[in-house]
Structures are given as structure tokens and as C-alpha cells.
Structure 1
Amino acid sequence: MSDKTNDSQTLGPDGVGEPTRRDFLYIATGMAGAVGAVAAAWPFIDQMRPDASTLALASIEVDVSALQPGMSLTVKWRGKPVFIRNRTEKEIEDAKGVPMAELKDPVARNANLSPDATASDVDRSAGKGKENWIVMIGSCTHLGCVPLGQAGEYGGWFCPCHGSVYDTAGRIRKGPAPENLHIPNYAFISDKVIRIG
């Protein structure tokens, strides 16, 4: 008698074949090949990503000379919309008149100030002498939708997806959004040019 192993498939009681050693070898070889292909492709995929220093230095300059009071501009920065608004005197006065106790989020969320700065109108704006300018990342802090400008009951921004309402300083007043619209790092490099980033 021969001690050879029989690789032919044996049928089980339900008529389905039981796996053999050859089946296992096919599966193991296929898996090893797939892992090897991914390992070989990864350096090519990884080199397409920009490095951290490129992302950290990414900035844009925006000419706002054409924006009269009451006008807005939306630009794209790092793949996100950024709202730039030259507010009217009435919009500034409305924002200044809101008691801090009424605010849902009392923090400024302004990357140009300390993290604990309050959400006063001046801390949300471009600062003393430039209170008319407001620059904010245009992504709702609820789920990242893009709110509509000069809409909603406070005359600021309204996110129709889930009903978040922001005032003329970009502060959340009603709806599910937990935070004010965030303000990126920016500076006026001249009277009419803003550098964002």
C-alpha cells in the first residue's frame, strides 16, 4: 500500500466539498500576493501627498478693495470655503448689542487670539479700527455644510441642512451647531489685501 495523500475533494454530508490542503495553499498564496502588491504600491501612493511643511505654509492673498459695506466674498483656502464680509454699521451694532449670556458658544474661536477669548463682536472681527471686516471658515460646525449668507432671523448665516442660525458676527444662536464659525489665521497686509493662512 502507498502512503500518498489523496488531494481529491471529499464531499461532506450536506454535499458541499470540504477544503483541502491545495485550497489552503491557493488562498494563502493569493493573500501573500495581495499584501505584497499593496506594500510595493504604497511608496508611490505616499509620495503624492503634500508634506506637512507645504500644508503649514499654505496661504492665500485676497484683494478686498471691491467689497463695499454689505458685500461678501467667498474664497477657497486649503479646500475650505472662507467667508469675507465687509459689514454695515447696522450689522456691527446688532452684533455688539447681543448680551454674552445669550450666546450658545461664548468662545471667540478666533485663531488670531488666545483660545479663551470671548465671543464679543470685536474679538470675532478683524479688531479695533477694522470691526467692519469679518473673516470666517464657511463650514457649519454641526456637520460641515456651507451656510447661506445674509440669511436667517439674525441676518448673518443660515445652514438650511439642519437649521443652524448664526448672527452677523458668525456666532451660533440657534440650531444644532455646537460652536461659532471658526476664524482662521489672517492679517491685513495692506488696507485692501488680506493674507489667510
Structure 2
Amino acid sequence: MIKQFLGIFAIAIFTFACSPKSEKTVPPVSQEETTVKKEQKLILFFGNSLTAGYGIELEDSFTGLVAQRIDSLGMDYRVINAGLSGETTASGLSRLDWFLEEEPYIFVLELGGNDGLRGITLSETKKNLKAMIQLVKAKYPETIIILAGMQIPPNMGQEYIKEFEEIYPQVADEEKVKLIPFLLDGVAGNPDLNLPDGIHPTEEGHLIVFQTVWENLKDLL
């Protein structure tokens, strides 16, 4: 009996985080509050190091700034950052299922940049982008899908660069999804807005990327 009492007392302390001297207890979350939290719509950002906020604090990344803007407006949405540094379209396709256990209200796909930097066959990149979009559509037909367009540095030859850029509008048109023409518009190529590697945006660069993303996102919320 004493052991049961001690066990219950310990659980109560852990659950409500009461100090030993406090006579008050924190009231449990109401059913209504629980329902509201469950009904928050999900915005899923799925991408590589750009989405992950490489080199800066996560809250300063464009996805973190989107989450902060949504919170400041009191909107019933929550943001999940599923960015992974080094991700290619092939590796993204292989792990996407892990993030589709819950239906996203909006799915933002930001992949392909690492494919271009590695000189991966363009037909493979296009096929993988389409496969990821089709996977989301098949599982959640009502999900709004946004494809973030990318460009690559001029070290792969002009023909490859041109064909790479054309992949994104082609995929968006063929799959009937919304397109952000170039995610890094106004940031790419500016040393003041990028880390020393010349690829990943600084905090100031991410602020501009956030503005680009938000312009494409806000009317959908």
C-alpha cells in the first residue's frame, strides 16, 4: 500500500511539475484543448541542407521563420522541418514515407540541388521529383504541394545548367503543383548573404528566402 502511494505521488509530481512546497496543482488539459492541438494542420518542409538551415540556428532558417510568423498570427498550423544535409532526390524518395504517417495540409518539396552539384543524370532527378509528388498525392489527395525550384553554379556546363533549371517548371506543370520558380532568388551568388562556402545562406539570406516562401504560402493558409 505504501509502495503504491509513493508510486502515485511520484507520477503526480512528474506529470504536474509541482514544487514540494506548492499547494496548487496544474489542471489537466481539457478535451477541447486537446482537440484543438490535434486539429492543427501540418506544413511539412521536405528538403536538403537549405531546408535544414545548415550553418545557422534552426529558428533562423526560413522554415523556422515561417513557424514564427504562423505563431505570431495565431494560425492553427504547425511546421515540421524534414530537411537533411546532403540529401539527393533519390535518398529523399527512399525516406519520404517516414514523414507521411500524418497528412500534411501543405507539402513543400525542396530537393535536386545536390543532384545538380554531383552531376546526376537529369532524367533521374526529374523522375525522382515526380515520384515523390505522386507518392504524396496517392496517400493524401487533398494535400497542397509546392515545388521549390533550384539553380546550380556554372561549373557543370551551360547545357546541363539550362536543362536542370527547366526540370522544375516541367515537373510542376506535368504534376499540376504550385511552383516557386527559384527558392534562392535574390540570395544566390551574393557573398554577403551566403556562408563562406558560397552555397548556404546566412541568417540574412534565410530572411530573404523566407519572404519568397511566405509570398507563395500565405494565400494558402
Task: Give the TM interval when normalised to the shorter protein.
Answer: under 0.3
Identify, as 1 or 2, the structure richer in helix: 2
Identify, as 1 or 2, the structure richer in strand: 1
TM-score (norm 1): 0.27
